[in-house]
Amino acid sequence: MNKRTWLWSLIVVLPFCMVDSIAPGCGPHESKAEEEQANPLAARMLSITACQNLTREQLHELDQVTNQLRKLGPAGLVAAINSWENGNQRGAGPSQLELIDKRLDMIAGQKQARTCQLFWYKSLATALARSTELKRPVLSLRLLGKLDEDLSCANSRFFREVLYTKPQIADLLRHQFILHWQPVRDVPIATIDFGNGKKLRQPIIGNSVHLVLSGHGQVIDALPGLVTPAEFIRWMQSVSELHHEISLLPQEARKQQVQHWHGDRAQRRRQRCKLTILPSQMVKDLNPLDPRWKNAAEELRLTADIPTLAGLPTLAGLPKEPSNATAAMRLAPLKMAAELPLFRMVDAVEPRVEQDSFFNLYGLQPKLDDWYTHDAQTGDYEDLTQRIYKELFLMPLNDPWLGLSREDRFIALDSRGRHTTEVINISATEVLKTPAN
């Protein structure tokens, strides 16, 4: 083995030995060490992807390099993005840049990685360890499907398009939080057959929720569903301040502070808008298609009092008027009762961001505030996630139909329109005993 081959082998193998001790911490010294490991790996990725018709050995090596950059954390992502930029400046072809882009998504743990430049952990334990080291809260996204795949639930896709791509939001996420995502279950696919040979097939909207955890693993707040970029920034700033406040307090005082914080927020919302959900109300009794929600959102102008957002792109390009299906529901209450649960899930083609933002902030989040106000023990990661999906999103995760096929809805269909594919498991022993024809 010549000297050059030995040196490259050392570069590839060394991170396997060191990454476990480096990735969770990433202090000043460790960041430099990670950078020194990441740069030659990124350069190698650029070199491999420049080859035409990659061989099996080259693909295997590319997978190894990608995995190592992923294990090096944010430093690995930065080095990989720099390699894309270097390739672009040197005239790399579209196919090479596209291949590197796919690798960037794998390294970052998110689609559109080069645009957002955010690194997401998939291990909550690793994210919490880094949270303790850097004294930052963990922002954990719970979703249907996976953030690094194109066909994740609609909410998470809108997050990538509407929120994470905004520089102000990306900077706050990158510098004030440790990012993590975890699926709650696979994303269902809805197919609408129009009967004329045309079918519409897409993931159903399946809600997602951002949860913020302290380094101790306790959820201190959650933001259900999609909100406007301005409201997302407002929320990140407020929950970051809350995390800083409670980090200076003993355990019992932390719980009390979180409890009071939620009570104050719910009270402010209810004073500001009479439409805000009351402690005695249930989310299932609210109608998000009620035009009063849209009217109230326009009256309050949620984003008007945030001066830091002057340069933030608006959402003017997104549809704001209700679809014909929405209007038809208002005219036929019985039809709406049967179809509203499904319509809530598949109406992803027209993201009414401003109206949805208002409903999520005034129709859903105050109910979560009530949970914290009435029970100081609220905040278990899994229990709270399950409760949010069941009581706020009306999508119980233990229901195979995700709340879309409710027993209390009359739809006049045999078996309520449910169809299942029976999976027959036959052991190898039984197969061998079957006589041949």
pLDDT-based confidence at 303, cuts 50/70/90? Answer: very low
Query: Is the per-residue pLDDT at 78 higher than 80?
Result: yes
Helix (H) or strand (E) holding 405: none
Question: For position 416, what pLDDT does the model report?
Answer: 55
pTM above 0.85, yes or no: no
Q: Is 57 exposed, middle or buried (0-12, 13-18, 19+ CB in 10 A)?
A: exposed
pLDDT-based confidence at 124, cuts 50/70/90? Answer: very high
Question: For position 321, what pLDDT does the model report?
Answer: 43
pLDDT mean across residues, the chain: 80
pLDDT-based confidence at 206, cuts 50/70/90? Answer: confident
Query: Is the per-residue pLDDT at 30 higher than 90?
Result: no
* Sheet of 178-185, strand order: 178-185, 138-144, 209-213, 219-224
Amino acid at 173: L
Query: Is the per-residue pLDDT at 245 higher than 60?
Result: yes
- Over residues 326-341, the mean pLDDT reads 42
CA distances 131 to 134, 136, 179, 220, Å, are: 5, 5, 9, 14
> Domain map of the chain by residue range?
1-108, 114-308+315-430
Give the number of other CB atoms < 10 A from CB of residue 141: 21
Rounded to 5 degrees, φ, ψ at 212 are -115, 125
pLDDT-based confidence at 214, cuts 50/70/90? Answer: very high
Percent of the chain whose pLDDT exceeds 90: 57
Question: For position 352, what pLDDT does the model report?
Answer: 72
Query: Is the per-residue pLDDT at 31 higher than 90?
Result: no
pLDDT-based confidence at 62, cuts 50/70/90? Answer: very high
Per-residue pLDDT reduced to its tens digit, 2-16: 444 444 444 433 433
- Over residues 123-152, the mean pLDDT reads 94
Q: Of the candidates 75, 74, 98, 73, which has an alpha carbon nearest to the alpha carbon of residue 88? A: 98
Distance CA 427, CA 361 (A): 52
Distance of CA 276 to the CA centre of its chain: 26
Of 3.40.30.10, 3.30.160.340, 3.40.718.10, 3.50.50.60, which CATH number belongs to 114-308+315-430? 3.40.30.10
Amino acid at 320: K
Distance CA 178, CA 104 (A): 19
Query: Is the per-residue pLDDT at 226 higher than 50?
Result: yes
Question: For position 370, what pLDDT does the model report?
Answer: 98
Residues, the chain, total? Answer: 437
